[in-house]
């Protein structure tokens, strides 16, 4: 029974330390202690119960953390809970094996094991950054600057360490010696040095040249179908853009959210098969061409390949008035990292019924883009990660390596009907700016629309679920940009944590086998 209580406490710590419905920004300081009850539970459990304890924690923690998935598709939340039931069964079992194998300093191996697991969980088709412990610190600007050097998974080691260290101090049969306290002292020094480093980076941030960017939040759900809804949406976006331009005629770039315009701009303009859709697209293009600002617009881009359905891409179009608007010939980026099951279902041939369930009223899912695009307009080089693409370090890093010096993120989290969901997304987006030291502008359907500086500070933010716009000066850093160590080398901290854990476990297993055979 005590173990089940520890599982419950761990799940609550996980939930509250991250953005949630009660504390919208999360209680980040609790992130330092998430794994303490888990390690205590693992130490107390026997091999028979460890799998149940792990499974319960996985299902419960992600069930309440990602509760907002229910609003989109209850089956999606069920799948996440089931997946993490089995994932955390394996994690708890791994922690228990380490607990048994190591007579002393096992807590250090468990620390690296946890960090390695959190890195691995972000990889592959099913990978996602939601729930990585370091993201709980998104408001601790001085501390998170260290991710410019070691990335979010290097910071993870600093954030998770207190859980492992306190666990070592609390259990009676942990062998503690001078080395234990030396390791604790090293963490204290690294923690203080990280804050000092962060203070210095923030203090000495200065830029000379800027562009003014407006981000539009129309508080509409583009998933609503029908030409009347599409027309209402476009007119609302145009009205907000006009308001922004009237008060700020010097705006250089206007950003609309993900799939802000649902009818395919290029296909509808050239095919002219639907008069009302063509009229709407023509109206939109004439409006854009009459302005001086560059428009970055999310569009459901369709390409006719003479198949049963046209290929659909979740795309960002960049229009420059008097250059590529009429006829429409925008520069295009199409989303590469698609959301599993919601936007991409690679097993549809084998599970057609399940595929139909996940279509959620759409005729098909998205096709993948092929290249991380960099646009250069008004002196600013930028990329347009779409929706949850800015929750992944590697994709945004590749954009910067390709020459991007600003992220213009187009998102639609309106389906979640949850500020917690939108804040969780924002917490991860903050790290993409810090890791690469480039600013971000986020234009979302319902939240969180904002501007983030190179230090992860939110300069301006629109309240969720309201119809507004915001504008801010964004630095042009092309000529003075110096790549961070993270940008150069990527998530080597995460890779190191995985490899070190594997090597230590192999060595210890060999030692154990040799001892038994002596």
Catalytic residue among 121, 335, 373, 423: 335
Residue 486 lies in a domain: no
Q: Do 87 and 194 lie in a common domain?
A: yes
Q: Do 255 and 200 lie in a common domain?
A: no
Residue 484 lies in a domain: no
Q: Is the confidence at residue 62, as pLDDT, over 90?
A: yes
Predicted confidence at residue 446, as pLDDT, reads 92
Catalytic residue among 81, 387, 421, 450: 387
Structure tokens, 7: 């599982």
Separation in Å, CA 239 to CA 233, 250, 449: 10, 17, 17
CATH number of the domain to which 385 belongs: 3.60.110.10
**416 vs 363 pLDDT, higher one:** 416
Residues 138-170: pLDDT tens digits?
999 999 999 999 999 999 999 999 999 999 988
Share of the chain above pLDDT 90, in %: 76
Residue 504 lies in a domain: yes
Is 335 annotated in the active site?
yes
Q: Do 197 and 259 lie in a common domain?
A: no
The rounded Cα 438 to chain-centroid distance in angstroms is 16
Predicted confidence at residue 46, as pLDDT, reads 87
Q: Do 186 and 224 lie in a common domain?
A: no
Q: Do 389 and 320 lie in a common domain?
A: yes
3-state helix, strand, coil in the chain (%, to 5): 50, 15, 35
Residues 441-461: pLDDT tens digits?
999 999 899 999 999 999 999
Q: Do 224 and 241 lie in a common domain?
A: yes
Q: How confident is the model at residue 350 (pLDDT cuts 50, 70, 90)?
A: low
- All residues at 6 or more sequence positions from 179 whose CB lies less than 8 Å from its CB, including other chains: 105
Classified as helix, coil or strand, 476 is coil
Task: Please give the residue range of the domain that contains residue 324.
Answer: 210-479
Q: Do 299 and 172 lie in a common domain?
A: no
Instruction: Give the dihedral of Cα atoms 110, 112, 115, 117; nearest 10 deg.
Output: -70
Lowest mean pLDDT among 96-105, 145-154, 405-414, 418-427: 96-105
**356 vs 5 pLDDT, higher one:** 5
Nearest alpha-carbon partner for 276 in 229, 325, 327 = 229
Q: Do 253 and 183 lie in a common domain?
A: no
CA gap 266, 281 in Å, rounded: 9
Separation in Å, CA 276 to CA 29, 238, 290, 369: 54, 18, 21, 29
Q: How confident is the model at residue 309 (pLDDT cuts 50, 70, 90)?
A: confident
Structure tokens, 261: 């315009």
Is 258 annotated in the active site?
yes
Predicted confidence at residue 362, as pLDDT, reads 62
Number of domains in the chain: 2
Catalytic residue among 258, 302, 331, 367: 258
Q: Do 370 and 294 lie in a common domain?
A: yes
CA gap 436, 369 in Å, rounded: 23
Q: Is the confidence at residue 361, as pLDDT, over 80?
A: no
Share of the chain above pLDDT 70, in %: 94
Q: Do 200 and 226 lie in a common domain?
A: no
Q: Do 250 and 188 lie in a common domain?
A: no
CA gap 38, 55 in Å, rounded: 12
Q: What's the whole-number mean pLDDT along residues 101-115?
A: 91
Any idea what DSSP says for residue 445?
Answer: S
Q: Do 272 and 417 lie in a common domain?
A: yes
Residue 40 lies in a domain: yes
Separation in Å, CA 505 to CA 109, 154, 340, 461, 493: 8, 21, 32, 46, 18
């Amino acid at each position: 029974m005590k173990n089940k209580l520890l599982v419950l406490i761990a799940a609550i710590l996980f939930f509250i330390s991250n953005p949630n419905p009660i504390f919208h920004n999360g209680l980040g300081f609790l992130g330092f202690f998430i794994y303490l009850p888990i390690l205590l539970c693992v130490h107390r459990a026997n091999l028979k119960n460890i799998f149940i304890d792990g499974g319960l924690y996985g299902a419960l923690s992600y069930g309440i953390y990602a509760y907002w998935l229910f609003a989109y598709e209850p089956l999606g939340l069920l799948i996440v809970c089931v997946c993490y039931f089995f994932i955390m069964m394996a994690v708890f079992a791994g922690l228990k094996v380490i607990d048994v194998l190591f007579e002393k300093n096992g807590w250090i191996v468990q620390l690296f094991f946890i960090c390695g697991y959190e890195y691995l969980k972000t990889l592959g088709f099913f990978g996602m950054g939601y729930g990585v412990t370091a993201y709980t610190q998104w408001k601790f600007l001085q501390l998170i600057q260290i991710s410019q050097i070691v990335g979010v998974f290097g910071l993870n080691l600093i954030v998770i360490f207190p859980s492992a260290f306190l666990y070592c101090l609390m259990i009676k049969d942990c062998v503690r010696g001078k080395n234990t306290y030396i390791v604790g002292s090293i963490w204290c020094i690294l923690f203080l040095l990280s804050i000092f480093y962060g203070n210095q980076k923030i203090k000495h941030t200065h830029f000379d040249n800027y562009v003014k960017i407006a981000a539009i939040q129309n508080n509409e759900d583009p998933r609503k179908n029908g030409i009347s809804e599409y027309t209402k949406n476009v007119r609302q976006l145009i009205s907000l853009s006009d308001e922004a331009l009237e008060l700020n005629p010097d705006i250089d770039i206007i950003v609309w959210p993900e799939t802000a315009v649902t009818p395919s701009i290029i296909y509808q303009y050239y095919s002219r098969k639907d008069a009302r859709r063509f009229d709407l697209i023509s109206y939109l293009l004439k409006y854009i061409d009459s302005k001086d600002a560059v428009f970055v617009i999310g569009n459901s881009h369709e390409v006719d390949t003479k198949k049963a359905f046209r290929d659909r891409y979740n795309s960002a179009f960049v229009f420059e008035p008097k250059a590529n608007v009429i006829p429409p010939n925008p520069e295009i980026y199409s989303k590469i990292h698609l959301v599993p099951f919601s936007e991409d279902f690679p097993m549809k041939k084998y599970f057609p019924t399940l595929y139909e369930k996940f279509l959620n009223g759409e005729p098909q899912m998205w096709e993948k883009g092929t290249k991380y695009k960099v646009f250069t307009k008004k002196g600013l080089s930028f990329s347009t990660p779409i929706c949850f693409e800015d929750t992944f370090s590697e994709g945004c890093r590749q954009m910067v390596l390709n020459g991007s010096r600003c992220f213009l993120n187009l998102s639609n989290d309106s389906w979640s009907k949850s500020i917690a969901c939108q804040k969780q997304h924002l917490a991860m987006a903050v790290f993409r700016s810090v890791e690469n030291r480039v600013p971000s502008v986020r234009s979302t359907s319902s939240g969180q629309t904002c501007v983030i500086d190179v230090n992860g500070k939110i300069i301006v933010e629109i309240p969720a679920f309201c119809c507004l716009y915001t504008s801010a000066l964004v630095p042009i850093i092309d000529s003075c940009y110096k790549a961070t160590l993270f940008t150069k080398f990527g998530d080597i901290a995460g890779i190191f944590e995985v490899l070190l854990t594997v090597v230590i476990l192999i060595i210890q297993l060999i030692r154990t086998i040799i001892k038994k055979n002596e």
